[in-house]
Structure 1
Amino acid sequence: MKKFQAQPGFRLVAHQLAPDPGAEASRRLMSHTGASRAAYNWAVGWVTAAWWQRKAEHTLW
């Protein structure tokens, strides 16, 4: 991979933050994580079902 080089006259600044949520923020983060995982699983199931349906229709010809 090519290494990033800042243009002359520019300065590269980076910050690394450690997440340390409180109890309420942690609960909300877990809730959002669960919702995104449920949406992902639904989408994978829908695409897989469509794929199997098309494969079944193709074998009928």
Structure 2
Amino acid sequence: MPRIVDLRMSDEEYLQSLSEGKNPLRQQLYEEYKKLLLSLGASPQKACQVAEILTSPIALWLNRL
């Protein structure tokens, strides 16, 4: 069953992001993970690295299973 996610953007903004080759869902998840990791005491560099891994295409695919 599909999941509805509020990306806090209009349909036009979403389509614009997709046309630019960006993935709005991945970008939002990346920012949320980075913010969480920073709040848990990770360095900014490590937070970015781990957030990148957690939002990689394979990780997002595995999350759907």
TM-score over 0.5 for the alignment? no
* Structure number with higher relative contact order (C-alpha < 8 Å, ≥ 6 residues apart): 2
Point out the structure with the larger helix share.
Answer: 2
TM-score by length of 2: 0.31
Larger of the two Rg values belongs to structure: 1
